[in-house]
Amino acid sequence: MTDKIFAKEAWIEALKGLTKDYEVFVPAGDGDFHTFKPLENGTKPDFGYQNTRLSPKSLVYPQSERMFDYSLDENDPDAHILNEASRDYAPRAIVGIRPCDAHAFQIVKLNFDTPEYRDPFWVKRFESSTLVGLGCHEPCATCFCTAMGGGPFDEKGLDVLLYDMGDAYLARSVTEKGQAFLDKTQGGEKADEKSLKRAGELAAGAAEALPDPVPVDPIKRKTINELFDAPFWEDVAFPCLNCGTCTFLCPTCWCFDIQDEVQGNQGGRIRNWDSCMFPIFTLHGSGHNPRDQKFQRVRQRFMHKLKYYVDKYGDGFQCSGCGRCVQFCPVNIDIREVLQLMGN
């Protein structure tokens, strides 16, 4: 594996050169916040950003995704047959993704890519994506990646990790996929020992201000019923509006709803992000709703992330500590506080 160092201007130029090999996505300003946008003419990458408002999960798992097309025209020989909607799985590079969001893809992978079930849409799109991470020198006060088993320079889930060295980026290749990306990247020089040492120091410094890892054991030891019946859920849920902000901004929320939409005699089967905060999420055809009340829905979200997932997969929490829900919950429900309540 070769680690390379690029002057910042040369890096942007090198990315432009990569657009023949990849569809390159970069963080760019979009009004008051940042989103990942294709590096096409006019998109100005901004690697000085904190994080995107919406997580980059949509690049692999779009909010609305047409899965199948069908015809209701009886004269059509394919009438009533579901045909996979055409889609593009050309290689993509998501450049500047934060380590928490790359970690989140690993969490989501446990759901979409299992020995029993492989979600073809998610898996193909994920496998054709190269994740080029950007380490966080100045994590936000709402960040808690370290508590969730990650870190501001954690390589987990990344193919390449970038260190901001001031006037240059040091690019460490983490996987074969990442090495292939760097091999195609024009310019740059082989990183020397001194730069690598400096990069290591930067990484160590950034993690200092962040919280300690939260052990899963205290929550694991408690029974599901003990936590399910805990007295604090009504209080935690009181301010909740049951909106979809937390789940839609979250890089690890994976739930979806499938809908058929027909126009004339042409139809499509579409899957849309869904949210356990919405009452309709669990509404049965009979009219019964097992999570009819707000506190039940709020409890579900936290129990799923911090207990059911922990017990089922044995791989930490279903949270990468990106802090989006903490920052943008309109009523300031703070998952870090709920984590404490559940663990104590």
108 vs 309: CA distance, rounded Å: 11
Residue 232 binds other proteins, judged by CB under 8 A: no
Region binding other proteins by CB under 8 A among candidate stretches 71-79, 222-230, 313-321, 325-333:
325-333
Residue 255 binds other proteins, judged by CB under 8 A: no
Q: Write out the H or E segment, with its range, that includes residue 9.
A: helix 8-17
- Give me the 50-79 binding string for other proteins, x by CB under 8 A, dash otherwise: x--xx--------xx---------------
Q: Between residues 17 and 279, which has the closer beta carbon with respect to other proteins? A: 279
Beta strands 189-190; 4-7: pairing state: antiparallel
Q: Write out the H or E segment, with its range, that includes residue 315.
A: none
Which of the residues 118 through 147 are near other proteins (CB under 8 A)?
A: 138, 140-142
Residue 331 binds other proteins, judged by CB under 8 A: yes
Which 3 state secondary structure label does DSSP give 64? strand
Other beta carbons less than 10 A from residue 73's beta carbon: 13
Amino acid identity at 25? F
Residue 278 binds other proteins, judged by CB under 8 A: yes
For 222, residues 6+ apart whose C-beta sits below 8 A from its C-beta are: 307, 342
Q: CA 55 → CA 33, 104, 105, 235, distances in Å?
A: 12, 9, 10, 28
- Give the tokens for residue 56: 């980059």
Task: Pick one of 20, 41, 48, 264: the residue that binds other proteins (CB under 8 A).
Answer: 48
CB of 34 to other proteins, least distance (A): 10
Task: Pick one of 163, 248, 302, 309: the residue that binds other proteins (CB under 8 A).
Answer: 248
CB of 86 to other proteins, least distance (A): 17
Residue 100 binds other proteins, judged by CB under 8 A: no
- Give the tokens for residue 186: 């024009």
Tokens 């005699």 found at:
265
Residue 82 binds other proteins, judged by CB under 8 A: no
CB of 238 to other proteins, least distance (A): 5
* DSSP notation for 82-148: -EEPP-----EEEEEE-HHHHHHHHHHHHHHB-SS-B-HHHHHHHHTEEEEEE--SS--TT--TGGG
Q: Between residues 54 and 160, which has the closer beta carbon with respect to other proteins? A: 54
Task: Pick one of 2, 83, 186, 259: the residue that binds other proteins (CB under 8 A).
Answer: 259
280 vs 59: CA distance, rounded Å: 26
Region binding other proteins by CB under 8 A among candidate stretches 15-23, 94-102, 218-226, 273-281:
273-281
Residue 242 binds other proteins, judged by CB under 8 A: yes
Q: Between residues 27 and 188, which has the closer beta carbon with respect to other proteins? A: 27
42 vs 55: CA distance, rounded Å: 22
Task: Pick one of 7, 336, 341, 343: the residue that binds other proteins (CB under 8 A).
Answer: 336
Task: Pick one of 183, 238, 266, 315: the residue that binds other proteins (CB under 8 A).
Answer: 238
Residues of this chain that interact with other proteins (CB under 8 A) are 30-33, 48-50, 53-54, 63-64, 138, 140-142, 235, 238-239, 241-245, 248-249, 257, 259, 261, 270, 272, 275, 278-280, 326-328, 330-334, 336-337
